[in-house]
């Protein structure tokens, strides 16, 4: 059953703590993306990667970091520098990051601050 798996579904962060959100895909897609969604707002792009070992900043990359060591995996770390991390985080993938690509999304991780 192909798809994108995000874990955990819910995550709590303490002050000064870094937390890592997992995203794995078995669609054999080249491109992967991380979005942040706040209530009443659209999806905002944090980082994206079109190929292994390469990634680019999106519109709101400050306070976040990513890695792309494997095609299937694109973990997102929310660092202590991100002062307002409470949000719904969505991971997506697309076939080749091409112009006409459709994006496939995971079920999301809801991050809250303790």
Partner 1 sequence: SQKIEQNSEALNIQEGKTATLTCNYTNYSPAYLQWYRQDPGRGPVFLLLIRENEKEKRKERLKVTFDTTLKQSLFHITASQPADSATYLCALRAGSARQLTFGSGTQLTVLP
Residues of this chain that interact with partner 1 (CB under 8 A) are 4, 33, 35, 40-45, 48, 56, 58, 90, 92, 97, 99-100, 102-108, 110
Task: Report whether 34 contacts 68 (CB < 8 A).
Answer: no
Residue with tokens 């992967």: 32
Supply the minimum distance, in Å, between the C-beta of residue 80 and partner 1. Answer: 27
Supply the minimum distance, in Å, between the C-beta of residue 19 and partner 1. Answer: 19
CA atoms of 108 and 16, how far apart (whole Å):
23
Q: Which is nearer to partner 1, 57 or 70 (CB)?
A: 57
Supply the minimum distance, in Å, between the C-beta of residue 33 and partner 1. Answer: 8
Please name which of 88, 61, 76 lies closest in space to residue 24, comparing C-alpha atoms. 76
Task: Report whether 93 contacts 33 (CB < 8 A).
Answer: yes
Q: Which is nearer to partner 1, 19 or 92 (CB)?
A: 92
């Amino acid at each position: 059953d192909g798809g994108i798996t995000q874990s955990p579904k819910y995550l709590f962060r303490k002050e000064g703590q870094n937390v890592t959100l997992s995203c794995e895909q078995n669609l054999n897609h080249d491109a992967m993306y991380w979005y942040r969604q706040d209530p009443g707002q659209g999806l905002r792009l944090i980082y994206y990667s079109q190929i292994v070992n390469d990634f680019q900043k999106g519109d709101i990359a400050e306070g976040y970091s990513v890695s792309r060591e494997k095609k299937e995996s694109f973990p997102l770390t929310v660092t202590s520098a991100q002062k307002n991390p409470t949000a719904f985080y969505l991971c997506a993938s697309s076939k080749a990051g091409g112009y006409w690509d459709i994006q496939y999304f995971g079920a999301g991780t809801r991050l809250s601050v303790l």
